[in-house]
Amino acid sequence: MEVVVKEDYQGMSRLAAKIIADVVREKPRAVLGLATGSTPLGTYKELILMHKEEGLDFSQVVTFNLDEYIGLPPEHDQSYHYFMNENFFKHINIPPGNVHIPNGMAEDLVGACEQYERDIKEAGGIDIQLLGIGANGHIAFNEPGSSLGSRTRVKALDEKTIEDNARFFEHMDDVPKFALTMGIGTIMDSRRIVLLANKANKAHAISITVEGPVTALVPATIVQLHPRATIIVDREAAVELERPYRDTPHDLSEAVAYIQRQKGKDS
């Protein structure tokens, strides 16, 4: 697990976008796992800019979103279908048929979850999964206490999550209480993970995720066990971390250069 602390939200978003863009350039038919919420918005804006100004091509990319509320139709302005289309998909050249978001209006919700897992497998698995983190340490809608091996399923939302989401709805009774979500096991199957966090209200969750024990009570801690996970935070979200962390990802070329310098000293 690698932790990168950027000075601000813009720097954090730019780095995340660069990592994703590098994956797409290297593998044009990359499978991206995507997240919603305010945290990844900056990353999507940077990717849109790369598409428009640098020709970053999404024409073969396949995407799978982490979650969706149950009971909100795709056209609802608080559905994640609507969020992704407005903030990302309609601004890039991705074919609509390559976009996958859980169907929160499915008559057979269990069947829809099982099909989602099959769709991910048939696409070749997720190459890079973008994650946010809740103040209680949830990833996607895997609330505290979720099985660390869980798959895509129906999940009841914690009261804390419902309270946090209430600001987006006119009435408290309108806030969805259930969602379809990728499971923790599904997320961990991704070949690479990039987890983002900004602002001080995420600082405690980040400190436990990075430096605490792996526990189902803080689902995000599972990323410690992923072979290629990068956590990118801003200064505010990093304030409770005990150890110092770099502001750039580790680069293999640094190690190679170090070896060459050492050889030069010995010659």
Catalytic residue among 51, 81, 100, 138: 138
If residue 26 lies in a helix (H) or strand (E), which one and from where to where?
helix 9-26
Tokens of 90: 């309609």
Contact 64, 32 (CB under 8 A): yes
Please report, rounded to a whole number, the percentage of residues in the chain having pLDDT higher than 90: 87
The rounded distance, in Å, linking the Cα atoms of 186 and 148 is 10
CA-nearest of 131, 143, 137 to 201 is 137
* Mean pLDDT to the nearest integer, 90-105: 98
DSSP state letters, 78-97 = TSHHHHHHHHTGGGS---GG
Mean per-residue pLDDT of the chain: 95
Compute the C-alpha angle 147/138/149, nearest 5°: 20
Residue of 46, 51, 65, 67 marked catalytic:
67
pLDDT in tens, 208-238: 999 999 999 999 999 999 999 999 999 999 9
Write down the catalytic residue from 98, 103, 136, 165: 136
54 is catalytic: no
CA distance 105 to 112: 10
The pair of structure tokens assigned to 263 is: 């050889």
Structure tokens at 14: 């730019």
What residues have CB less than 8 Å from 169, skipping those under 6 apart?
78, 175
- Alpha-carbon distance of 108 to 106, in angstroms, equals 5
Q: In the chain, how many domains are there?
A: 1
Catalytic pick among 127, 143, 189, 234: 143
CATH number, domain of 192, equals 3.40.50.1360
Structural domain range at position 137? 2-266
Q: How far is CA 85 from CA 21, 31, 58, 96, 205, in A?
A: 19, 17, 14, 10, 29
- Note if 67 is an active site residue: yes
User: What local confidence, expressed as pLDDT, does residue 264 receive?
Assistant: 77
Residue 143: active-site member: yes
Q: How do residues 141-179 score in pLDDT, each as one tens digit?
A: 999 999 999 999 999 998 888 888 888 898 898 999 999
Rounded to the nearest 10°, the torsion over CA 41, 230, 228, 259 is: 140
